[in-house]
Structure 1
Amino acid sequence: MARQYGFDTLQVHAGARPDPATGARQTPIYQTTAYVFRDADHAAALFNLQEVGFIYSRLTNPTVSVLAERIATLEGGAGAVCCSSGHAAQIMALFPLMAPGCNIVASTRLYGGTVTQFSQTIRRFGWSARFVDFDDLEALEAAVDENTRAIFCESISNPGGYVTDIPAVAKVADKVGLPLIVDNTSATPYLCRPIEMGATLVVHSTTKYLTGNGTVTGGAVVDSGRFDWSASGKFPSLSDPEPAYHGLKFHETFGPLAFTFHSIAVGLRDLGMTMNPQAAHYTLMGIETLSLRMERHVANARKIAEWLENDPRVDFVTYAGLPSSPYYDRVQRLYPRGAGALFTFAVKGGYEACVKLVDSLELFSHVANLGDTRSLIIHSASTTHRQLTPEQQVAAGAAPNVVRVSIGIEDPDDLIADLDQALAKATS
């Protein structure tokens, strides 16, 4: 029986071997557009999907393939496809499932850019989204109709750090026969393994914690390999003959890898949302220290959230790792390694105090990103969520009196001192 390696080993080794040509220990950056075929028959077999290999880097690249396998392994999936950004990953996840007139049911607690993508942009494809509070499982089930093709949520939501009861949502998805897509960006597979909780697909913005150093954008879609795409007739892209491949049926031919193969052979081929090998290389290097970083992120976040909660200049803190959080028991049950390092807090003095706070910080960086080794802050209502209505801002946890923090791996006492001096200026 083969040994089951631990997470810390897999984050360093999964998907990679020393380069057979040179013996290089680190995965090389295969900076190439195309690959030489052995002969005409080899080329034909690759294009017919009869043989796995490399054709053109819009589809597959050896560096990117190592990253895809590593992420799939860490998530416990059958396969994965990497792409150019987290937003690209969301479209890649939906692309094989949807058709004009179809809808998804999505959590109200989502990143503002995702709310915009789902409420505005996907309508141009003839798709639509229905937003529901996923704590209300009856409302979630009631929102599903005959045209619904997926259920979508975030494991730990951006910006508020709300934690989803994924097993409960997965039971609803199973009952209605639909795939559950979980954005696991904020939690990472170190804190949460959605597939083990019943998710069908997992999406990531690899830009964030997986890379961890704020250098490159990227996305990934991980396929659990457990969904029966042929059972309902609702997913013809995966169950029916594909004209571009001489009538090949992806689910019948590739089984648990049907979604992954379709995402490469059709999704990347036609949408072109390709991850470049340089970005894959940076992300592979970041993942090597993922567990070490996440432990520090979580420890720092817990200490800083406790300090903020006891500060009279702060109205409330949303960190689910605090005993005062309504989601604390859920964290202990489902996220035992911690509630992540992303949360919001409300500043007394409202919008203007938030703006002054952001402008007064010295260690915290004011950026539209999260998951960096550096601590980051943003006033969501005036930036990432400004396109939403006031009601949507509040529902998303980005009210005008709230700032979002992504706690880094610095000395937590230094971060507290920085917040202390900035709050003094903001609320004076």
Structure 2
Amino acid sequence: MTDGPKYGFDTLQIHAGARPDPATGARQTPIYQTTAYVFRDAEHAAALFNLQEVGYIYSRLTNPTVAVLQERIATLEGGVGGVCCSSGHAAQIMALFPLMSPGKNVVVSTRLYGGTVTQFSHTIKRFGWEATFVDFDDLDAVKAAIDDNTRAVFCESIANPGGYITDLDAIAKIADAAEIPMIVDNTTATPYLCRPIEHGATLVVHSTTKYLTGNGTVTGGCVVDSGTFDWSANDKFPSLSQPEQAYHGLKFHETFGPLAFTFHGIAIGLRDLGMTMNPQAAHYTLMGTETLSLRMERHVENAVKIANWLEKDDRVDYVTYAGLKSSPYYDRVAKICPRGAGGLFTFAVKGGYDACIKLVNALEIFSHVANLGDARSLIIHSASTTHRQLTADQQRAAGAAPEVVRVSIGTEDVDDLIADLDQALSKASS
């Protein structure tokens, strides 16, 4: 659908990448539950393995159900291609894998999901990579953190858990000046609220587990390539610009142009890392994307009402929702997320850690789970769970202080959600 008329978001979220099944006429994308695919002949097989022809070989690499999801997400984000994988964490490694090598570093925001902070603080060191954490509101600090070994900058469009909004345009200018890509995790915003590529992002990553699926059933991730970065402009990215010995000296950027990163992600990333999305997970996520705009509108509508109610409540110290006029990020909403500030934010409960625990235990509609982006409203005490591995300073920098709870506002009746919070806050403050 990308070669014809310019369709609207609501049309693309249903139709992009999908066509009636040629064998049966099935209108919904089938679940191609198969590991391998029959080649037409020996020459066809050789062409596929040599990357001379596009097609299906083995489902660790490509699968027709997953391929539809990849095209849909890439279309919604305004990218040229996408690579789906097994989780959001897998997507982050997949994004960095072609860019990094031992001794290289990535400059990242301090305002990130706790698991990402841990992945970047500890796990990537096993590859010989390093991460430098910087407050991305301090643009001079971001510039100063970039050195000759920096290969990317990484941030979240709407940061988890606090709902802070990153000035993507400003960070993109810094990345462009340094001739390195900007990678943006757009999980919390989704392409309905924010399109990072329009603000200068080179790559966009998603945990499709969250809002894109929207029903808490399957895990998944995706990396979307903008197709705009010149990987051959210098010698910083040899995986994409220099000969690849596994493919007889093929140069990905020279051969595939704007799709270089996408082809590398499949032909090298999925081939060797094996972080494959299964076709049933892709099917669930495809069904979720069909209602993405409807759900996000309701998430935002409910979040605005609840955040305003909480801000006026004497039992609450502060609320971090960027959609509040009191938020220091309020002015960025219209610029970065013109359709709203999302459905994720935190609030601080008077009484500190113990009051937070009482609140979580007293809620009836809100589910206490380590997830976000569900149609159901969710809550978690980040300091004791998702951000537990971080130091106290890291927790506060990430917006996950001990007196704070994170809420992911669902699509239920907003009056019921407010009533649930009201009764739980009463018990927490007693």
Partner of 2:342: 340
Partner of 1:201: 203
Calculate the aligned-residue CA RMSD, in Å: 0.6
Partner of 1:130: 132
Supply the distance in 2 between the matched residues of 1:4 and 1:122 (Cα, whole angstroms): 40
Partner of 1:280: 282
Partner of 2:304: 302
Q: Which residue identity is paired with 1:326? A: P
Supply the distance in 1 between the matched residues of 2:161 and 2:113 (Cα, whole angstroms): 6
Query: Counterpart of 1:162 in 2: which secondary structure?
Result: coil
Supply the distance in 2 between the matched residues of 1:241 and 1:386 (Cα, whole angstroms): 43
Partner of 1:415: 417
Partner of 1:25: 27
- 1:232 and 2:234 aligned: yes
Query: Residue 144 of structure 1: CA displacement?
Result: 0.4
Supply the distance in 2 between the matched residues of 1:113 and 1:369 (Cα, whole angstroms): 12
Supply the distance in 1 between the matched residues of 2:37 and 2:312 (Cα, whole angstroms): 60
Supply the distance in 1 between the matched residues of 2:139 and 2:162 (Cα, whole angstroms): 20
Query: Residue 60 of structure 1: CA displacement?
Result: 0.2
Deviations 1:51-81 (A, max 9, x none): 0000000000000000000000000001000
Q: Which residue identity is paired with 1:386? A: R
Q: How does 1:224-373 map to 2 (within 5 A)?
A: 224-373=226-375
Supply the distance in 2 between the matched residues of 1:332 and 1:99 (Cα, whole angstroms): 38
Q: Unaligned regions of 5+ residues in structure 1, if any? A: none
Q: Which residue identity is paired with 2:74? A: A
Q: 2:88 aligns with which of 86, 105, 124?
A: 86
TM-score (norm 2): 0.99
Query: Counterpart of 2:210 in 1: which secondary structure?
Result: coil
Query: Residue 215 of structure 1: CA displacement?
Result: 0.1
Query: Counterpart of 2:327 in 1: which secondary structure?
Result: coil
Query: Residue 333 of structure 1: CA displacement?
Result: 2.2
Count of aligned positions: 428
Q: Which residue identity is paired with 2:146? A: V
Deviations 1:244-266 (A, max 9, x none): 00000000000000000000000
Q: Unaligned regions of 5+ residues in structure 2, if any? A: none
Q: Which runs of 4+ in 1 moved over 4 A?
A: none
Query: Residue 335 of structure 1: CA displacement?
Result: 1.3
Query: Counterpart of 1:261 in 2: which secondary structure?
Result: helix
Supply the distance in 1 between the matched residues of 2:182 and 2:223 (Cα, whole angstroms): 13
Partner of 1:380: 382
Query: Residue 3 of structure 1: CA displacement?
Result: 1.4
Partner of 2:164: 162
Supply the distance in 2 between the matched residues of 1:259 and 1:119 (Cα, whole angstroms): 25
Query: Residue 232 of structure 1: CA displacement?
Result: 1.3
Query: Counterpart of 1:171 in 2: which secondary structure?
Result: helix
Q: Which residue identity is paired with 1:198? A: G
Partner of 2:14: 12
Supply the distance in 2 between the matched residues of 1:31 and 1:343 (Cα, whole angstroms): 38
TM-score (norm 1): 1.00
Supply the distance in 2 between the matched residues of 1:113 and 1:13 (Cα, whole angstroms): 33
Q: Which residue identity is paired with 2:351? A: G
Deviations 1:17-37 (A, max 9, x none): 000000000000000000000
Supply the distance in 1 between the matched residues of 2:188 and 2:322 (Cα, whole angstroms): 13
Supply the distance in 1 between the matched residues of 2:348 and 2:229 (Cα, whole angstroms): 41
